[in-house]
Amino acid sequence: MKRLAVLLPLLLAACAAQPPRAAAPAEPEPPKTPALTYAETNLNATLWAQGTVEHDMSYRGIYAQATRQIAVALKQKDWDALPKNERKKPARGLKPAVIVDVDETVLDNSPYQARLIRDGKEFDEFSWDQWCREQRALPTPGALEFAKAAALKGVTVFYLTNRAQHLNEATLANLRSAGFPVADKENVFLGLGTVVEGCEANGSDKGCRRELIGRRYRVLAMVGDQLGDFIDVDNNTVAARAEATRPYEGWFGERWFMLPNPTYGSWDGAVLGNQRSADAPTKHQIRRDALRTD
């Protein structure tokens, strides 16, 4: 008891010396979304595209179906795969052709994507040019078989790409070394800057170049990994893309063959509201805000 009597005043004094109780902490701010780099956001998509069975069999299945449809289309003399507004001359009686896009359609550039991830970088023209000039892109799964089967049936394969004009030679060399049939007598490689008389191209839209092919050919099938490989869309918004695609929904898997590309594309531009030059945190937030959660 005696000890407590000594301690009690000390304890009371200590309590009295306590600073006033701090106010209740404010509501914590919601955590900020971390601004992921391009490399980080593209890691899974690139891994998927780079050698998974799911990716490879998607490609092979789509190309196998396209090959079967060539045989069907050849027998039906009015069959045509050009968008209706780009078909200016009746297709009947014209020589048969197919149109393929190049990047991620017949050539696999996933090593370039992988390098960007490894180096923590974003796409830029300089590194892209370097990769293209290496001419080391391999054929995508099923592409070579499709192109060869078409050529064997007397169907001309047109390569319609938006690679910059100064990459034409390197791209052609890569296509040839990969084993693709590139007809020598025809101008079957239609890159950016191809002049099409009587047709004013809107930027890199491919419509005029498709129209050019359609002046001399009946198009049996088209293969691509972007909506723009099939139709031009004036306004690259999510809604406008869906609207433009609607009349042709029945053509996918029949005349148009869309390959899956989760690593890049105009779909991302549409999601971003075409704010491609926005800073990384802004772009990341726009993408998150676009997610559907129910």
The residue nearest Mg ion at its CB is 103
Task: Please say which residue, 81 or 91, places its beta carbon nearer to Mg ion.
Answer: 81
Segment lying near Mg ion (by CB under 5 A), choices 22-30, 81-89, 101-109, 112-120: 101-109
Number of residues that bind Mg ion (CB under 5 A): 5
- For residues 200-217, one letter each, b for 16 or more C-beta atoms within 10 angstroms of the residue's C-beta and e for the rest, the string is ebeeebbbbbbbbbbeeb
Q: Roughly what angle, to the nearest 10 degrees, separates helices 168-177 and 125-134? A: 40
* Residue 78 C-beta: closest distance to Mg ion, Å: 29
Q: Does 101 bind Mg ion (CB under 5 A)?
A: yes
Pairing of strands 138-139, 107-108: antiparallel
Of residues 216-255, which lie at the interface with Mg ion (CB under 5 A)? 225
**Which string of DSSP letters, residue by residue, matches 24-46?**
PPPPPPPPPPP---HHHHTHHHH
**Binds Mg ion (CB under 5 A): choice among 104, 108, 211, 232:** 104
Q: Does 108 bind Mg ion (CB under 5 A)?
A: no
Three-state DSSP class for residue 214: helix
Task: Please say which residue, 86 or 104, places its beta carbon nearer to Mg ion.
Answer: 104
CA torsion angle 188 193 195 201 (round to 10): 110
* Residue 80 C-beta: closest distance to Mg ion, Å: 22
Task: Please say which residue, 91 or 223, places its beta carbon nearer to Mg ion.
Answer: 223
Q: Does 103 bind Mg ion (CB under 5 A)?
A: yes
Residue span 258-277 as binding mask against Mg ion, x where in contact by CB under 5 A, dash where not: --------------------
* Residue 265 C-beta: closest distance to Mg ion, Å: 7
Task: Please say which residue, 80 or 229, places its beta carbon nearer to Mg ion.
Answer: 229
- For residues 269-283, one letter each, b for 16 or more C-beta atoms within 10 angstroms of the residue's C-beta and e for the rest, the string is ebbbeeeeeeeeeeb
* Residue 34 C-beta: closest distance to Mg ion, Å: 30
CA 200, CA 82: separation in Å to the nearest integer? Answer: 17
Segment lying near Mg ion (by CB under 5 A), choices 33-41, 82-90, 97-105, 175-183: 97-105
CB 72, CB 195: distance < 8 Å:
no
Q: How many CB atoms lie within 10 A of CB 138?
A: 16
Task: Please say which residue, 213 or 258, places its beta carbon nearer to Mg ion.
Answer: 258
Task: Please say which residue, 80 or 225, places its beta carbon nearer to Mg ion.
Answer: 225
The most distant pair of C-alpha atoms in the chain lies apart, rounded to whole Å, by 117
Task: Please say which residue, 73 or 106, places its beta carbon nearer to Mg ion.
Answer: 106
Three-state DSSP class for residue 252: strand
Residue numbers at the binding site for Mg ion (CB under 5 A): 101, 103-105, 225
